[in-house]
Amino acid sequence: MNKEAFNETLNELEVTQREFWNIPRETGNFLNMLIKIRQAKSVIEIGTSNGYSGLWFLEALEKTDGTLTTIEYYEKRQSVAIENFNKCGFEGRYNALQGDACELLSNLPDDVKFDFVFIDANKREYIEYFEILKPHLLPHAIIAADNVSSHRQKVQPFLDKIFADSDFQSEILDLPAGLSLSYKLV
């Protein structure tokens, strides 16, 4: 990893943050700490965009010796993300998948498991991402989902489902846009 390129790239991407719908810095820093605290080694992100949040995950995964799988529908955004990841020296630490998230997730082999999930794509599909990913979660996995306050109506079916699921303990954090956190108890 190139620390200088990492800091420079984060600063650069923050200039166009609204255009690419990136998470704010405080959410990135919080999720980065959470990956280190959980010692997560297998992270999946739904909604790569230009790779801003992915950079925060990769910096943490460098410390835990883990890998990131990240999904983006648009090829152009995905190639910008790959450029940003490689510029910071993260080659070999990520797997960038391009296409529709529900389709790609449905085709995951049964033995692919994750200990940390970040949901940040189509708000109405959060519930489907959760349902498809549940069998792929390791014990004590963490699921974070962004925009649960800013897009409350659209994500409500997801929140209802995960808050009612006794396998999970969940809370909504007062970070910008609202971040839900769910901890898999089993």
Q: Which of 32, 35, 47, 82 is close enough to bind ligand SAM by CB under 6 A?
A: 47
Strands 94-98 and 114-119: unpaired
Nearer to ligand SAM, 14 or 165 (CB): 14
Give the Cα-Cα-Cα angle 55, 61, 65 (nearest 5 degrees).
Answer: 150
Largest CA distance in the chain: 44
Q: Which of 67, 79, 122, 149 is close enough to bind ligand SAM by CB under 6 A?
A: 122
Give min distance, CB of 111 to ligand SAM, in A. 23
Question: Which residue's CB comes closest to ligand SAM?
Answer: 47
Nearer to ligand SAM, 43 or 101 (CB): 101
Burial of 48 (0-12, 13-18, 19+ CB in 10 A): buried
Q: What is the dihedral of CA 86, 88, 94, 96, to 10 degrees?
A: -50
Q: Which residue has the tokens 């990492």?
A: 6
Does 77 sit near ligand SAM (CB under 6 A)?
Answer: yes
Which one of 2-10, 66-74, 165-173, 176-184 is the stretch in contact with ligand SAM (CB under 6 A)?
Answer: 66-74
Q: What is the dihedral of CA 33, 170, 145, 45, to 10 degrees?
A: 60
Nearer to ligand SAM, 96 or 121 (CB): 121
Binding site for ligand SAM (CB under 6 A): 21-23, 47, 49, 52-53, 71-74, 77, 100-101, 120-122, 125
